Amino acid sequence: MTAHSPAALAIDRNWPLVAAGALMTCAAIGVVFALAVFLEPMGADTGWSRAGISAAMTFAFLSMGVAGFGWGALSDRIGPRRVVLAGIVLLGLASVLASRAASLLQFQVTFGILMGAAAGAFFSPIISATAASFDKRRSLAIALVSAGMGVAPMTIAPLAGWLVMLYGWRQTMLGIGIGTWIVLLPFVYFIRAVPMQAAAPGMPASGDADMSAKDALRSRAFLVLAAAFFACCAAHSGPIFHTVSYAIGCGLPIVAAVTIYSMEGVAGLGGRLLFGVLADKYGAKPVLVVGLLVQGIAAVSYLGVNQLGGFYAVALVFGAAYGGTMPLYAALAREAFGPRILGTVLGAASMVSSLGMALGPFIGGWLYDRYGSYAWLYIGSMMAGLAAAGIATMFPRGPAVPRLKMA
């Protein structure tokens, strides 16, 4: 088979999947993280505590992780398209129901548990389909899908902030839910993976095609991947969620503070593309380690600024680092595991990482309510980021090897 044969070219030509995937990850993550914009007006309107509202985000990440594992395994069985369709329906429904919540508990259930479960339907199925559909440009393709997450703060967050000022948080959340259905449903058609048999002949193999999901989840490669993913998300989730409130506390108006969130998104978009290109050239592991080190140092740097220009400078570095590292876990997983079980592996890794994401919003809100300061949040984020870098250095080279069974 020549380099220009149809089967060889097909594996690197599923770009409609990449475009649709980027749009959907943008919407899913954007709707969830819009809670950071709603935090202040919701507290003022309802009297709910900051920790209580932040807990909804914690529940969302927990639910996203658990559901993501199930969605990923299901996508290996029935394909990603039907899983993503279910996710879109639930995502819009959760936002509509959350907008009608009459109590904090109702909001935590609808926004936290239901919306988290819905958002979990996107990452693992779409990323695993992308990783299975690309060979030479795999890291870049994954980065482009993941770039939707970086676009979310530049689009949905400012839009939500503007609409909240005009119509209030309830009407804004209702409109976002309905808009999710209108925008995303037509693009479900493009969520499909290239059949594995079209990519197999003559193509360089990566991962262990014969490994079972059970063996994969007990392998050293998965344990290291999941632990690094957990620590990485624990490092950046708190600063992502609470920096807007921290900036407001420093004297910035809410409109200016929201632009810091958007600046992180801009930088995250660039970081995903840059890190994807670098990973294709130098390997995902060394690029990931460097990115994690930068992320940890940048997180604590927020404590040294109190003006908009300083916030922008830190946001550019921090956003590029955390945004750039996120797609690399999928690239590492594809190197170690075959495409047949990749949805399950990524779903399990995402479940563990969601536990890390769940820590930041709640702990940050608790620390603020207790001490009136975010200082310990940013210091803890630095420590978690450095720990993630150390763990990532232990990721093994080559395909994962199943753990030997005793006779």
Residue 1 CA, chain-centre distance (Å), reads 38
- Give the chain's length: 407
Q: Give the whole-angstrom CA distance, residue 372 versus residue 186.
A: 46
Residue 256 CA, chain-centre distance (Å), reads 24
| pLDDT recorded at residue 204 | 42
| pLDDT recorded at residue 157 | 77
Q: Give the whole-angstrom CA distance, residue 387 versus residue 203.
A: 36
- Let me know if 335 is exposed, middle or buried by CB neighbors in 10 A (0-12, 13-18, 19+): buried
| pLDDT recorded at residue 173 | 92
Contact present, 83 and 75 (Cβ < 8 Å): yes
Where do the domains of the chain lie?
12-193+210-392
| pLDDT recorded at residue 162 | 87
Structure-token match 């689009």, residue found: 155
Q: Give the whole-angstrom CA distance, residue 91 versus residue 87.
A: 6
| pLDDT recorded at residue 11 | 52
Q: Which of 241, 279, 275, 277 is nearest to 260 (CA)?
A: 241
Q: Copy the structure tokens of residue 304.
A: 């040294």
Q: Give the whole-angstrom CA distance, residue 335 versus residue 340.
A: 13
Q: Where are the beta strands (DSSP E) in 76-130?
A: none
| pLDDT recorded at residue 118 | 94
pLDDT in tens, the chain (407 residues): 344 444 444 455 688 889 999 899 888 888 888 887 888 888 888 888 888 888 888 788 788 888 988 898 898 888 899 999 999 999 999 999 999 999 999 999 999 899 999 998 998 889 888 888 887 788 888 888 887 776 776 778 778 888 888 888 899 999 999 999 999 999 998 987 655 444 444 444 455 556 777 888 889 999 999 999 999 999 998 898 888 888 988 888 887 888 887 788 788 888 888 998 898 888 889 999 999 999 999 999 999 998 999 999 999 999 999 988 988 998 898 888 877 788 888 888 888 887 887 787 778 878 888 888 888 899 989 999 999 999 999 998 755 544 434 33
Homologous superfamily of 12-193+210-392 = MFS general substrate transporter like domains (1.20.1250.20)
φ, ψ of residue 342 to 5 degrees: the values are -65, -35
| pLDDT recorded at residue 281 | 87
